[in-house]
Structure 1
Amino acid sequence: MSIGTCRMMMMTLPLALAADGSAADEKEQATLSLVGKEVFLDSTLSNPSGISCMSCHQPEAAFADPRAVSPGAVLGRNGRRNATSLMYAALIPNMDQEDMLEDDGSQNWVWQGGLFQDGSARTLHEQVQRPFFDHAEMNVGSEAELASKLRRASYAATLKTGLSEAEWGDDAKVANRAYRALVEFLKEPVFRPFDARIDDYLAGDGQALTMQEKRGLEVFKNKGKCADCHFLHATSWPEPLLSDFGYDNLGVPSRGDKDPGLGGHTLAGEEVGQFRAPSLRNVALTAPYFHNGSIASLREVIEFYNRRDLEPERWGPTDYPETVNKADLGNLGLSEEEVTDLTALMEAFTDRSLLRMRERGERFPELVAGTPASWKMRSYFPDWNHSAPPLPPHPPYRGQLLETKTLPTSQ
């Protein structure tokens, strides 16, 4: 079965599930989303207090971090990677393997999806947990400590809703309630408005892009090869997510300690240095770029893709040169005008609701009219049933999958 077949199954599956659910479940999701926002903003949960989720996911940067790496709660401790945007994060597929049919007829299994840039968290539910306990981030010592803080929070009564007294006394259940709340919050329509000009253009509005952006779109689809990994068509969601969520080693400039990426937890030598392709939605707001924040501007990113192999001294060494993709980038042959046009196109990927939020200095974007509610779209979310099926056995997984105590630093 090809990747295209797998994705078609993902698109059709939710339609069969859409009738499931109940009014009580819908109410619980709404309650969890509300308290999830409180958890997201709460800077008293870190140790020492002062760091919240929003500290590293700043609204003006499309809920990414404009710093290369984020400082943690403990002075002098910094994160390992650039904190990525939370816009559309709830739509990233769960970490899984898909089979790709090669030109020679052979079958190749590849990793797709997953949270954190190396895919070391298979689901969003697993991802939201780790920053609490990462010593370079919120530095909470244990679930017992986190649960104790949550019970003292101003929103504790709402968080407790639906839990018995015995469950409220169970540290693991209280902490899990907070994780679920964060997940439901990140599913909210404000994080997935699909109101960028590229959305209007793809929906048939030929005036939504400027002539320069249209030229850039042609480069994006053809000579620049961008659309090979940043799909302009719908896959697992009714609108395009602008990524295939696959993994590659782009040969980005080294910064700090060597980072093995995907290979750090799959333990496969050919996968060291690989990171997940991000969505390009709101990319113009999320500088600096790449997993380590090593490139400052979008134009420089495109110049890197275009001339990496022609000007190696400009970019410097990369962490794992032996696994760098030399076939699809590094010498694209783009002219200066084509680079300029492609850079201009990136502005068309910005959600207008985010731009209005920035203009007003607000913390969250407004709800875009017509954006479907989370409950209506529940079966489209990768997290729709709060679980992930077992991984397929091709090839055998060689790492310690989702063993939190053995995983590398998050972000």
Structure 2
Amino acid sequence: MSRTSRWATALGLLLLVAGCGGGDDGGDETPPPPVTPSGYSWSLPKGFPTPKEFAENPMSTAKVELGRHLFYDPRMSINQSASCASCHLPARAFSDGRTTAIGTTGEVHPRNAMSLTNVVYNATFDWANPVLKTLHAQALTPMFAEFPVELGWSDHEAEILDRFRFDPKYQELFAAAYPGESTPVNADRVAKAVAAFVSTLISGNSPYDQATFQLNNSAMSAAARRGQNLFFSERMECFHCHGGFNFSQSVSHAGTPVAQEEFHNNGLYNIGGKGDYPAGNRGLWEFTQRPADMGRFRAPTLRNIELTAPYMHDGSIATLEEVVDHYARGGRLISEGPLAGDGARSPFKSELIVSFRLTAQEKLDLIAFFQSLTDWEFLCDSRFADPFGNSPRHSRCN
């Protein structure tokens, strides 16, 4: 067995015994699901830690169900033409397939809609926002954003809330989710219910998980295992930004005393040879104004990455094959036009982004490994489906 094979195997076994909340002790009995102080019982994959729960938004089954309805309801938008699910489709692992998102009024967002897979484990939210650190705070952004408009709640809050306040079904759902409250239908409670629902979108039964955490040696193909060894090798350095149980180093859960907040410049742009990124898409720099933060974005999870194209914060890379080419080069070369520059030479590029060479077979193996992170049980889970039947699941789920 090679050094990288031993390393990858050891990593999986270490995660199994390191106190991650969803694993078992190797016996025949399955341990009870972890229960948080609120009394909510999480349904977690083996090897997964218990999500962090916030006192201001305790989880409950009733709140999750309210959030599921709100997430898929187009009445959440000012013109009743879009829902949260419009940018986070279950068939695409809760991303949307567009280069960048489009709001309910047709305004184009500068960023690609991230997958909501395992979003409950994020240390920060959005692509490069160090301020948003809870899902219920993040949910208010698409509701009230004006530049661009997403759902269009600004100046229309009462109008939108009345659609739910006078709906008999929602009266029952809100009362169950917020018992004892005389006026539970408000923007804060809406955001917290949506946050509760998306917190349950936990994916962890891919072929990789079955092989690593459930010790099913036949779950991954030989090509995927070779790709896994490449991914976890020092030759490629992938795991430094996309490591751990969630294939993202930027994580927070009940077992992390300090959230791991990480942002990286991956050499996507180097406009004019000065390290600049396009206006409105400059990453962490937009908050700090520090030159070293130019182009630094959060590395998203790679789980279900096969279904979440196009890639990068601005959707500017179309396929996984092109993503591999980008990293193999050590940064993207744009030869002409207003964005021209060699990302491999960016003065702000992360030292973790190094060039490497792959044979044609190795590239296929790496793609096979990425495909082994697709969790069809998650994608087809009826708990996450549209209660109104308007957002179709993947054809494989039928």
TM-score normalised to structure 1 length: 0.69
Q: Contact conserved, 2:237 with 2:352, CA < 8 A, in 1? A: yes
Query: Aligned partners of 1:309 and 1:114: how far apart in 2?
Result: 25
Matched, 1:152 2:166: yes
Distance 1:20 1:258, change over 3 A: closer
Change (3 A) 1:165 1:127: closer
Q: Are 1:125 and 1:183, in contact at CA under 8 Å, matched by a contact in 2?
A: yes
Q: Does 1:182 align with 2:194?
A: yes
Partner AA of 2:263 in structure 1: Y
- Displacement of 1:344 after TM fit? 1.7
1:88 is displaced (CA, Å) by 0.8
Provide Cα deviations, 1:319-369, integer angstroms capped at 9, x if missing partner: 9944222x32241233333222112211000002256579xx97469xxxx
> How much has 1:65 moved relative to structure 2?
1.3
Aligned to 1:121: 132
CA apart distance, 1:183: 1.5
Paired AA for residue 220 in structure 1: F
Q: Deviations over 1:131-180 (max 9, x none)?
A: 01123311112444443343134423321343557534xxxx72111111
SS of structure 2 residue aligned to 1:81: coil
Deviates more, 1:336-345 or 1:309-318: 309-318
Task: Quote the residue 2:367 is aligned against.
Answer: 343
1: CA distance, partners of 2:198 / 2:223: 34
Q: Let me know the Cα RMSD of the aligned residues.
A: 3.6
Q: Which residue of 2 aligns with 1:384?
A: none
Deviations 1:65-100 (A, max 9, x none): 10011221113x1112000111111122xxxxxxxx
User: SS at the partner of 2:196?
Assistant: helix
For 1:41-120, list aligned pairs within 5 A.
41-75=72-106, 77-92=107-122, 113-119=123-129, 120=131
For the 8 Å contact 1:304–1:330, the answer to whether it is kept is no
Structure 2, unpaired ranges of 5+:
1-14, 23-33, 42-54, 251-261, 272-276, 383-389
Equivalent residues in 2 for 1:245-264, closer than 5 Å: 245=250, 246-253=262-269, 257-264=279-286
1:278 to 297, 300, 325: 300
Aligned to 1:220: 231
Q: Secondary structure at the match of 1:242?
A: coil
> Counterpart amino acid of 1:224?
M
**CA 31–213 in structure 1, closer or farther in 2 if over 3 Å, else same:** same
Q: Is 1:167 paired with 2:183? A: yes
Q: Distance in 1 between matches of 2:342 and 2:103?
A: 26
C-alpha distance in structure 2 between counterparts of 1:356 and 1:165, whole Å:
35
Query: Mind listing any 5+ residue stretches in structure 1 that lack a counterpart?
Result: 1-7, 93-112, 234-239, 366-411
Whether 1:323 aligns to 2:328 is no
> Structure 1 193/158 Cα, relative in aligned 2: closer, same or farther at 3 Å?
same
C-alpha displacement of 1:317:
3.5
1:64 Cα shift? 0.4
SS in 2 for 1:275: coil
- Give the conservation status (yes or no) of the 8 Å contact 2:75–2:160: no
Distance, in Å, in 2 between the alignment partners of 1:182 and 1:137 is: 15
SS of aligned partner of 1:323: coil
Aligned residues: 320
2:245 paired with 1:229: no
Q: 3-state DSSP class of the match of 1:260? A: coil
d(CA) in 2 for partners of 1:309, 1:117: 19
SS at match of 1:339: helix
Q: Is the CA contact 1:252–1:294 (under 8 Å) kept in the aligned structure 2?
A: no
Whole-angstrom distance in 2 between the partners of 1:212 and 1:23: 40
- Secondary structure in structure 2 of the residue aligned to 1:349: coil
Of 289, 296, 312, 2:318 maps to 296
SS at 2:372 equivalent:
helix
Among 54, 64, 71, the residue aligned to 1:33 = 64
- Say if 2:211 is the partner of 1:201: yes
- Taking structure 1 as reference, are residues 228 and 123 closer, same or farther at Cα in structure 2, changes over 3 Å only? same
Q: How far off its partner does 1:252 sit?
A: 1.6
Alignment partner of 1:138: what SS? coil
Residue type at the aligned position of 2:91? E
Deviation at 1:259, TM superposition (A): 1.1
Distance 2:357 2:114 in 1: 29
